[in-house]
Amino acid sequence: MSLEKTLEDVRRGKPVLVYDFDDRERESDMTVASEFVTSEIIRKMRKEAGGLICTTTPYGKAKELGLPFLSDVFWDDREKYPLLSMMAPTDIPYDGTKSSFGITINHRKTYTGITDNDRAMTVKAYADIIFQDKPAALIRKDLAENFRAPGHIHLLNTSENILVNRHGHTELCTALMYMAGVKPSATICEMMGDDGGSMCRKDVEAYAEKNGIVVVTGTEIQEAWKKFKEQENRWSA
């Protein structure tokens, strides 16, 4: 199936499945453009994917707004809490770079923050706010007024220069959003199996065929992303 079909589904707010690489996690994530997330999408991710529901932020936007990597927060506070430095994620077996985890948030209008409605509200409002065409100081003010931290939506920050140094689902799915022309934040959730592990690629493909969902690989995204950057002269994101 062509990548253009995948991008069209992204533009329509439909979930797509992204398999990374045989030599990395060997996992598939269900992903949707964050601006189109609804409570129905969150429910689908929770019940049919089953992993951790996270929302991505491009590196440049996170840096501009002061949204840190959680590992940096822990490291900066290591003198007060020495255990945090001892637990630094330096031994991730599939990734030589640091964890993409950022902070966690809830929208201030949510109650507990964990329900499908609450998480959908948080995700969509986050995407709407961070990509506003206004100065960063005013966006930061909007973030402070609309969100509390910690919360139930896990933010993921891409690495600098997407798909150069890190090739995880955070980068792959965010690259899809850029190429689709939507707000470049993806909401993602790993596909879990019934055997205590992640859903194998064969079962993911069977699920996709049964449910009319597109599957795209990390290799396909990487190849398209390289062409996209050349066409758009987009060397960093």
Confidence of residue 92 (pLDDT cuts 50, 70, 90): confident
For residue 54, indicate whether it is catalytic: yes
Question: Which entry of 19, 27, 35, 106 is annotated as an active-site residue?
Answer: 106
Confidence of residue 89 (pLDDT cuts 50, 70, 90): confident
For residue 167, indicate whether it is catalytic: no
With respect to residue 51, please indicate whether it lies within any of the assigned structural domains: yes
pLDDT digits (tens, 9 = 90+) for 196-222: 999 999 999 999 999 999 999 999 999
Is residue 233's pLDDT more than 80? Answer: no
Question: Domain limits at 184?
Answer: 3-232
Question: Which entry of 9, 29, 35, 118 is annotated as an active-site residue?
Answer: 29
Residue 48 sits in a domain whose CATH number is 3.90.870.10
For residue 107, indicate whether it is catalytic: no
With respect to residue 157, please indicate whether it lies within any of the assigned structural domains: yes
CA torsion through residues 6, 9, 13, 15, sign:
negative
With respect to residue 237, please indicate whether it lies within any of the assigned structural domains: no
In whole angstroms, what is the distance from residue 214 CA to residue 50 CA? Answer: 18
Is residue 23's pLDDT more than 80? Answer: no
Here the contacts of 165-169 (C-beta below 8 Å, separation 24 or greater) are 165/97, 166/95, 166/97, 166/100, 167/20, 167/21, 167/24, 167/218, 167/222, 168/20, 168/24, 168/25, 168/95, 168/100, 169/18, 169/20, 169/25, 169/27, 169/29, 169/31
Number of domains in the chain: 1
- The residue among 33, 22, 30 whose CA lies nearest residue 215 is 30
Beta-bridge mates of residue 157: 57
Question: Which entry of 77, 81, 94, 165 is annotated as an active-site residue?
Answer: 94
With respect to residue 55, please indicate whether it lies within any of the assigned structural domains: yes
For residue 106, indicate whether it is catalytic: yes
Question: Which entry of 142, 152, 200, 205 is annotated as an active-site residue?
Answer: 152
With respect to residue 20, please indicate whether it lies within any of the assigned structural domains: yes
For residue 200, indicate whether it is catalytic: no
Parallel, antiparallel, or unpaired for β 28-33 and 54-57? unpaired
Question: Which entry of 20, 35, 54, 173 is annotated as an active-site residue?
Answer: 54
With respect to residue 23, please indicate whether it lies within any of the assigned structural domains: yes
For residue 190, indicate whether it is catalytic: yes
With respect to residue 137, please indicate whether it lies within any of the assigned structural domains: yes
With respect to residue 34, please indicate whether it lies within any of the assigned structural domains: yes
